[in-house]
Each structure stands twice: as structure tokens, then as C-alpha cells.
Copies of this chain bind each other. A is one copy, B any other.
Amino acid sequence: MNQRLPVSGAQGDLLRLVATGRAESRADLARLSGLAASSVSLRVEELISLGLLGEEGSGASRGGRRPRRLRLSPSAGVLAVADLGAHHARLGLLDLSGAPLVVEERPCEIARGPEATLDLLSDAFDELLAVHVPDDVPLRGVGTGIPGPVDPATSRVVTPSRMPGWNGFPVAEHLGLRYDLPILVENDANLMAAGEARHWPGCDNLMVLKAGTGIGCGVIVNGHLHRGRGAAGDISHVRVRSDSSVLCACGHPDCLEAYASGAALMSALADAGITVARPADIVSLVDDAIPEATSLVRGAGRRIGEVLTVLVNFFNPDVIAVGGSLSAAEPLITSIRAAVYERCLPLATRDLEIAPARAGRDAALLGAGALLLEAALV
């Protein structure tokens, strides 16, 4: 049941507005699309008779007649999305409004190479589809996040670290052999940013920091993901000020990652005689008020904050959302805030919000859905 959406032009725009939750009624659509109300009515009627859109009760009055609420029909289709990590993949199915139908996590060694990994992924998708989706509901798109840089022009992985065999691999092309559908391949931090963006209505410029084993960052400019040449947002190898000198795996001294990533904190804790298995365990240590852990997290936050200082002055975002497994540690955000507010221009921090991410663990999957809906589905 693979099938491209049979919509084009104006119809597609309207469908997208409903799918992304920006519009709920014909009147909303008229306001947002710029089309005349009459044209909207016509197109909506067509979309309903195509079975893509449905009417469902009525919305809240804004002082006059209540709008008839429009929703994507559940049978309009589903999206299959995944977020590949080093040792496991998070994957699931979304409906066409981008809401998750089912999400699960499977072990998956990315080091086994692209073919094996992607085939495992496709098989998992097929399983989920067979179990959770009726036969007459078509798959409309496939998207996946990759823990490394993706060239936006070619959808190929470029110079990834810790992903042997993936360099230059045409991921989208390979998935396209199995699915004749819109395919999205994107860096995982970028997907997370796209997912987070939907939770900050009215904020067009945001940075999403992913503090986990590594440090990732995605950038939304003007409501759209900024890709640059494929590495945009990569701040992990920025040089930080420091008294000592630590050599990073990349060959340069004093990279942010070597001081403030979950991996760096874990190894520093080990030096202090405290062994933890995952970055998330550091959060528990902080919650238990273990001084070594708290001090380390605070130092990491300060270092991250110092780097963000430059970026806040330069980019002036509305929001910096901090996610990833380390973000649950209270002192992290606090010390990031302190560093940024102390050193940045008042004009840049005037209305700047530095807050925990809102999209939760499935942010990357939701982001993949959002990008598929916005960009890929015509």
C-alpha cells in the first residue's frame, strides 16, 4: 500500500496547513493560505470527497458562528519514521497530522553498515505497518535521522565519525529502492530541532541543543530548518577557553565536546572513582546531590553557555531549547543561562528564552514527520 498523495498545488497547501495543525477550519485556511474563502471551500470539498479530510464537530466560537473543525482522515495515510542511534534505533508510525500511532526502540548496531542497518529498519517498518495499520491505509512517506552529517543536496552521509561504511552512502536512494515514496534523510539533531519547533508557536528562530553522549545542535531560521552545507549547527568541535589542554578525538585541542559532552563527564567521573553506564545516570547522581557530579555538570553548562554567547549575539534566537538525556539535570540549564545572560548583549537576551525542550523523547521522530509533511509531500 504505497501511494503518493494525489494532491497538487492549492490542495496540497491546504492539506499541509491542516496536517501541521496551523489551521482547523475553512476560515483558518482562508486566512493562512491567502486564498479566497470561496476557493478554500471548493478545495476542501474535494479533499473531503477524496477521503483525505474529514469534518469533526465544531470548534470554539470567536464571537460568531462556530467553525466546522477539519481533521485529517485517519485513513488518509501514515508516515514511517526512525531515528538511528549508535546502538539502537527508535522508530514508529505517525498519522498524517504528525501524531505518533506507535513508537518503539530496537537494538540496532549502526556500525554494521548502511545496507544491513537500513534493511533492518525497513523490515521493522513493514512489521509495524502489518500490525498497526489497516491494509487500505497507505504509507505516504519514509524518514530517518542519522547520527552524523547529511549533505542536503544529495541526501548522502558525509564524513561521519563512528559510522564505518556509511561515508558517501546514498541513504535516500537506497530506501527509495524499497519505497516508491517521498524519502527524508536528515541529521538527528536537525530532526530534533524540527520536532521542537512545533512546540514553540510564534517563535521563528530557535536553537535546539542536544546534550547527551555528544553535543548536537539544530537551528531553525524563520520557521525553517537551516542546513547550510550539511553541518550547520555542529558546535561540538568549537574551541573553548580553558587553563589546561585536552586533545579531542578530532585532533584539535579543547573542543567543547571534550569538556562538556556526556561522554566527557562520564570519563571525568570515572577519574573520580564514580562509574556510570549512561549519561542519564549522571542526572540521578546530580539529583542525589553528589558534589562531583553537580560540579561537573555545572562546569559543562558554563562551557556550553560560553559558546552559546557567541551564537546568541550572532543569531539572536527567540528560544534556546535544551534537550537530550543530560538536560534533565537542573544545574545544566541554570549555568547555561547564567553564562549567556552575563555576557550577551542586552538587546539579544531581552526576550530570549532558555528552556528545557518540550517535545520529549520522540522529538526527532516528530521532526521527521514535520519535515515530511512540509517538504516532501506535495
A positions within 8 Å CB-CB of B:
149, 158-159, 205, 217, 219, 221-222, 224, 226-235, 237-239, 241, 252, 306-307, 309-311, 313-318, 343, 345-348, 350-352
B219 touches A222 (CB 8 A): no
A233 touches B314 (CB 8 A): yes
Residues of B within 8 Å of A232, CB to CB, are 314-316
10 contacts between A and B (CB under 8 A): A149-B347, A159-B347, A219-B315, A221-B222, A230-B347, A231-B347, A232-B315, A232-B316, A234-B348, A311-B311
Residues of B within 8 Å of A224, CB to CB, are 222
Residues of B within 8 Å of A228, CB to CB, are 205, 315-317, 348
Give bound CA distance, A221 to B219, whole Å: 12
A239 touches B348 (CB 8 A): no
A310 touches B313 (CB 8 A): no
Residues of B within 8 Å of A317, CB to CB, are 228
Interface centre among A158, A221, A318 (most CB of B within 10 A): A221
Residues of B within 8 Å of A311, CB to CB, are 310-311, 314
Which of B237, B315, B345, B347 is in CB contact (< 8 Å) with A345? B237
Give bound CA distance, A49 to B228, whole Å: 43
A316 touches B230 (CB 8 A): yes
New A-B contacts (8) at CB < 8 Å, excluding given A307-B310, A314-B315: A222-B222, A222-B224, A229-B351, A232-B314, A232-B316, A235-B314, A237-B313, A239-B241
CB-CB under 8 A for A316 and B222, given A235-B310, A241-B241: no
Q: Smallest CB-CB separation from A226: which chain B residue?
A: B221
Q: Smallest CB-CB separation from A158: which chain B residue?
A: B347
CB-CB under 8 A for A313 and B346, given A221-B221, A221-B222, A226-B221: no
Interface centre among A158, A159, A230, A315 (most CB of B within 10 A): A315
Which of B238, B343, B347, B350 is in CB contact (< 8 Å) with A309? B238
Q: Smallest CB-CB separation from A234: which chain B residue?
A: B313
| Among all A-B residue pairs, the 10 with the closest Cβ atoms | A228-B316, A231-B347, A232-B316, A229-B316, A231-B348, A238-B310, A310-B310, A221-B221, A234-B313, A241-B241
Give bound CA distance, A316 to B218, whole Å: 12
CB-CB under 8 A for A159 and B346, given A217-B314, A314-B234: yes
Residues of B within 8 Å of A307, CB to CB, are 310
Residues of B within 8 Å of A252, CB to CB, are 343
Give bound CA distance, A310 to B254, whole Å: 13
Give bound CA distance, A337 to B367, whole Å: 36
Q: How far is the CB of A151 from chain B (nearest CB, A)?
A: 8
Give bound CA distance, A371 to B339, whole Å: 35
Residues of B within 8 Å of A314, CB to CB, are 217, 219, 232-235, 311, 314-315
Q: How far is the CB of A346 from chain B (nearest CB, A)?
A: 6
Residues of B within 8 Å of A219, CB to CB, are 314-315
Interface centre among A149, A224, A316, A351 (most CB of B within 10 A): A316
Residues of B within 8 Å of A229, CB to CB, are 316, 318, 347-348, 350-352
Residues of B within 8 Å of A205, CB to CB, are 228
